[in-house]
């Protein structure tokens, strides 16, 4: 359970999709003056070095953020995401990559709050160091985000983005995601919930969006990016998806503009493509 380290995958194609969509959701919440909370159930270490350690070993960022780093003609919304990564790399060389907590920090305003959960002891320590001295605006807890989420909802301002992206190393994580969203909606039906999941040739992965669509909600949006043809041996991740409950009404149109560009930049073979579907309120 505690063997997963996101540093191996930092900045890959799945991170690009996840963090770019995360930015769209946070920017929408920030359009109103009223404060909001950002809740991250599986926050990771917060920031990752791409030129050393785990990230350098797999170098998955080379088929992810590195392909956008010098790309010309990016849609405005996608260029904003790259600019956020550039804030960590002021000399123009891609060395550091922000995890979801740092992506959120770049967009939160003074009255907004972050609640970050990470169970892995090493990643929790790094995460806590990254946000040291920022309490009570940012609270970092060494805890199971699934279990901890219940106590936070509804948040005091009644506005929040909840990001749920477990490692999915255990099959039970898929069901725990569904249960966490179900429980969250009972306490905080108007919140925005964003679920990231890997596209694998496994029934649990393929069935997760279907289960989320059956939840009693008025509006949802599902976007998935396939970067390659599924492997013949059935192993490996060929893409990833984001399922958003209570999405901004503008998100679908933004995705229609950006997803073809992401396919062109991140696609690895003829199997590259995307899925975009929604249920509007």
Q: Mind spelling out the 3-state secondary structure of 221-276?
A: EEEEEECCCCCCCCCCCCEEEEEEECCCCCHHHHHHHHHHHHHHHHCCCCCCEEEE
d(CA 266, CA 274): 11
Any idea what the Cα angle at residue 97 is, between residues 91 and 260, rounded to 5°? 100
Q: Contact 252/221 with Cβ under 8 angstroms? A: yes
Q: Say whether 80 is catalytic.
A: no
Buried b (16+ CB within 10 A) or exposed e, 83-93: ebbeeeeeeee
Among 165, 173, 233, 269, the active-site one is 165
Q: How far is CA 210 from CA 59, 177, 213, in A?
A: 32, 13, 5
d(CA 228, CA 7): 22
What residues act catalytically?
A: 165
């Amino acid at each position: 359970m505690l063997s997963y380290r996101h540093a191996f995958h930092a900045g890959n194609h799945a991170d690009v999709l996840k963090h770019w969509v995360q930015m769209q959701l946070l920017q929408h919440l920030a359009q109103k003056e009223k404060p909001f909370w950002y809740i991250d159930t599986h926050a990771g270490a917060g920031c990752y070095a791409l030129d050393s350690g785990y990230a350098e070993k797999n170098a998955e960022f080379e088929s992810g953020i590195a392909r956008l780093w010098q790309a010309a003609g990016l849609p405005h919304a996608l260029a904003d995401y790259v600019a956020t990564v550039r804030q960590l790399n002021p000399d123009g060389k891609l060395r550091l990559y922000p995890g979801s907590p740092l992506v959120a920090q770049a967009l939160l305003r003074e009255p907004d709050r972050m609640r970050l959960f990470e169970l892995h002891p090493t990643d929790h320590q790094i995460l806590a160091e990254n946000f040291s001295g920022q309490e009570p605006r940012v609270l970092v807890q060494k805890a199971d985000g699934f279990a901890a989420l219940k106590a936070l909802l509804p948040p005091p301002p009644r506005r929040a983005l909840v990001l749920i992206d477990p490692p999915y190393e255990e099959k039970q994580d898929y069901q725990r995601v569904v249960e966490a969203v179900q429980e969250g909606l009972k306490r905080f039906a108007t919140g925005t919930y964003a679920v990231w999941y890997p596209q694998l040739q496994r029934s649990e992965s393929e069935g997760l969006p279907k289960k989320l669509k059956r939840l009693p909600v008025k509006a949802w949006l599902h976007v998935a990016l396939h970067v390659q043809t599924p492997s013949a041996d059935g192993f490996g991740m060929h893409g990833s998806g984001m399922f958003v409950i209570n999405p901004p009404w503008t998100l679908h149109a933004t995705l229609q503009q950006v997803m073809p560009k992401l396919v062109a930049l991140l696609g690895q073979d003829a199997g590259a493509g995307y899925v975009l579907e929604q249920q509007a309120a």
